[in-house]
Every structure is written in C-alpha cells, then in structure tokens.
Amino acid sequence: MPSAMNEHAGAVLPPLVAIVGPTGVGKTALSLRFCRRFRGEVVSADSRQIYRGMDIGTAKASSAEQAAAPHHLLDVRAPDEVLTLAEYQHLAYATIDAIHERGRVPFLVGGTALYVRAVVEGLRIPEVPPDPVLRAELEADLARNGVGALFERLAALDPLTAQQIDAANPRRVLRALEIFLVTGQPKVLLEGATPPPYRVLLVGLAQARERLYARIDARVDAMLAGGLIAETQQLLTAGYSPRLPSMTSLGYREITAYLHGEIDLATAAQRMKHETHRFVRHQSTSFRKMDGIQWFDIDETAPEIIEAFVGDWLEGAG
C-alpha cells in the first residue's frame, strides 16, 4: 500500500485524478492538457504499454508527448517478462507518492480497468508468485483442451471464484486455478479492497459508438502507415514468440499473421479494426461497472469545460 497513509481524520488527502475510457477516445491529449494546466505527471494504466519495443501498436505516447509531461510506468518490462497486477499496484503507488512529494498532481491515465481499479479502489491482490512447473502444466492443459476444460476444473475446485470470473478469459481462469492449487483457498476470499490515502476524481471520456469506431479505424490506418509492420518484425526477429501474451495483443497478432503469410495486409487491417471495435465495447462495459466516474461526451463537452471541472475539484470545490 502507499507509504503516505493519513492518520488524521478530516485531513485533506493528496489528489489523484484518473482519466479513463475506451481506446482511441482521446485520453492522451486531454491528460497532456491537464498536465500543462495543473503541473501534472502521467501515470500509465495500460497493460500493454508496459512493454518495451511495443510503441506503435499500443498507441504509446510519442517522444514529443512524453517530453511535454513526465510519463511513468511505460516500458517497465520486456515483451517476454511478466508484470503481475500486484507489482503494477506497488509501482503505481510508489510513483504517485513520489509525484505528491514533488508538489505535483498525478494523473492516472489508461484503458485497463483492472489497473485503474487496483489503484483507486486499493484492491487487495493475492500475492501468490507463479509456480513455473504448475504454470507449465496449466499452459499445456490450456493449449491441449482449451479454456472451457480449464474453467470446468476451476468450477469443480473453486466454485466461488468461478461464479465471478470471465469464463472465456484464459489468463484469468488459469491464474485463478493456479492460486487455488498453490494456496488451497479461493481467489475471491483472498481479495478485498482498502481505499488508498488519496482524494480521487474519476473522469471518464465517452463518444458515440460509430464516431469512436471511425476514430479507431483512422488510427489503425495511421499505425500501419507509421511502421507497425516493421515494429512487429523487429519483435519477431528479436526472438519474441508470437504466443506470448504481449504478442497476442491487438495489432501484433494480426500483423504477425500477415508476416507469416497467413493473411494479406488488407485482411490484417480489417481484423485489427473489427477486433478493436469489440475491445472498446468490452472496455466500456468494464468502466460502466465502476462507481463514481464523472462521464463526459467529447463531442458534446469542450475540453475547457472538463478542465474547469477538474480545476474546481483540485481547489476543493468539486
């Protein structure tokens, strides 16, 4: 948990502003505006931007954007390394505390709802280190029999967690099963939440679905024109397996299929667009389940209005 625990009831807690919403909605541009206005620094909450060498496909802030405001928790792992949710939470809290110590405002920015929740809700995350032998067995079982069989095994051993988990998400199912087999306890019973010692504002950005899809499609075209094919080839040439979780993320899996001659480039581009549309629907659902988000439609609300709202909140009027 954060080091700056506040023991005085009624004391003013340091601020944390989270900017959330689906891919492509404009979080980066707004966060840079806020950083200029409020002496802020960006703390990334994106589970793919943690990887080094994966810049274009993850829409990582450009070098110019990173020069405009300090950015944290980008490029913290190689594509074949693991960053657990607990590790991300510890890094985020340490980063936020350091920003506060500098007298600046932290802006938690990203589209990974679980990362955001881990920070703003203080999720208690089971710190069960992966068991390499057990993990290899579960991975083999997953590859051989599919996620359905793995979920059936989880449901038989840990029905409490099975009732609350996405049965179609192989990583979540595998990790829940791993935790039970290592600890003998249901994952959900090891969890909970302890709110962090911050005054938190959640700003959500939204846009009409068809307009957001159009923005996404244009961004996919820009990624392809901007070097995504070469970036993916560099990763493959460096020896990173196409089966790694990092390499199966949006964009990289489709371009890998193209580079391997499995599909043509037009098909790869269309799949990227389609899968990103599907992904933003999932993101929107995840964020809509969170309480306390102040939503702004970017087509109906000028950035100045959102900036004024954040300014009032930071001054204590919000």
pLDDT digits (tens, 9 = 90+) for 275-304: 999 999 999 999 998 999 999 999 999 999
Report yes or no on 10 lying in a domain. Answer: no
Q: How far apart are CA 137 and CA 300, in angstroms?
A: 51
Q: In this structure, are 199 and 181 located in the same domain?
A: no
The DSSP output letter for 200 is E
Range of the domain at 228: 15-125+193-314
The DSSP output letter for 263 is S
Domain count, the chain: 2
Report yes or no on 144 lying in a domain. Answer: yes
- CATH code for the domain in which residue 291 is found: 3.40.50.300
Report yes or no on 241 lying in a domain. Answer: yes
The DSSP output letter for 153 is H
Q: Parallel, antiparallel, or unpaired: how do β-strands 192-193 and 199-206 relate?
A: unpaired
Reading the block at residue 6, the tokens are 């506040």
- Block residue for tokens 């290899």: 136
Report yes or no on 7 lying in a domain. Answer: no
Q: What is the pLDDT of residue 152?
A: 94
Q: Parallel, antiparallel, or unpaired: how do β-strands 105-110 and 40-44 relate?
A: parallel
Q: Where are the alpha helices (DSSP H) in the chain?
A: 27-38, 63-68, 85-101, 113-120, 132-157, 159-162, 170-183, 209-225, 228-237, 252-259, 265-288, 303-314
Output 318 or 222, whichever has higher pLDDT.
222
Report yes or no on 3 lying in a domain. Answer: no
Q: In this structure, are 28 and 66 located in the same domain?
A: yes
Q: In this structure, are 78 and 185 located in the same domain?
A: no
Backbone angles phi, psi at 211, to 5 degrees: -70, -40
SS3 24: coil
Signed CA dihedral, 135, 141, 144, 148: sign only = negative
Q: What is the pLDDT of residue 8?
A: 39
Task: Give the pLDDT mean for 34-62.
Answer: 97
Q: In this structure, are 248 and 262 located in the same domain?
A: yes
The per-residue pLDDT for range 1-11, each reduced to its tens digit, is: 444 334 434 56
Q: In this structure, are 212 and 283 located in the same domain?
A: yes
Q: Where are the alpha helices (DSSP H) in 84-131?
A: 85-101, 113-120
Q: In this structure, are 265 and 121 located in the same domain?
A: yes
